[in-house]
Amino acid sequence: MIRNFLLTRNGRIEAKEIDTDTGRVKLYQINDGLSNCGINFPFSEYETTAADMGYISVADMIKELKKRNQLGKEVPHDKQVANEISSILQLAKFRHENGWNLADIPEKLQKHYGLSKEYVDKIIRYITNHNIERHIIKVYTDGGDILTTEINGSPADIEKYYTEKIEFIA
C-alpha cells in the first residue's frame, strides 16, 4: 500500500510517499504557487528506503516520524497522484503560453507516474493546444459495476460531477 503525507512548513509543502510493502520512500517538495506562477507543482524528488534512512521497518519509520511531527496530514494516494499530474499539466500549459520549453514535463509524467509516452503526448497536447485537462478514473456504481473512463476536468471538478465512488488512475 502506498501512503502519502503532506506537511506545510515555512511556506512550503514537504511531501512523503511511502510504499509500506517495499519500504520505498519518495521525499519531495510541492511549490508554493502563490509566491510565483500560481501552480503547486511537485519538484526536487529524492527516492530512498526506510532501511537506508536508518529504520528497522516502514512501520517503525512512520511511528517515529509521527512522534517527531515530520509526517503531516495523510491524503489518499490516488487523489495525490491526480492532483500532482494536474499541477504538472498546468505547468505545461503555463510554459507553453509563455513560449518556454516543456523541459522535463513529459519525462516526469512517464517516470514518476508510470504514464505511457503516447498518453503523455495526448494529455500534454490537450492542455497546451485546447486548454483541456484529462484524467483516467474508475467509477464504482451502486449496482456493483466498475467503469474505467477518461474525463475532462481537474480532479476537484471530477469529484463534484460524480456522486458514485471514484478512484483516480491518472
pLDDT in tens, 89-103: 999 999 999 999 998
Using DSSP's 3-state secondary structure scheme, residue 114 falls into coil
> What is residue 9's predicted lDDT score, i.e. its pLDDT?
86
Cα 40 from Cα 74, distance rounded (Å): 18
pLDDT in tens, 26-78: 999 998 777 777 888 898 999 999 999 999 999 999 999 999 999 999 999 99
pLDDT winner (highest mean) among 7-11, 39-43, 86-90:
86-90
* Global pTM value: 0.91
Cα 170 from Cα 163, distance rounded (Å): 19
> What is residue 10's predicted lDDT score, i.e. its pLDDT?
80
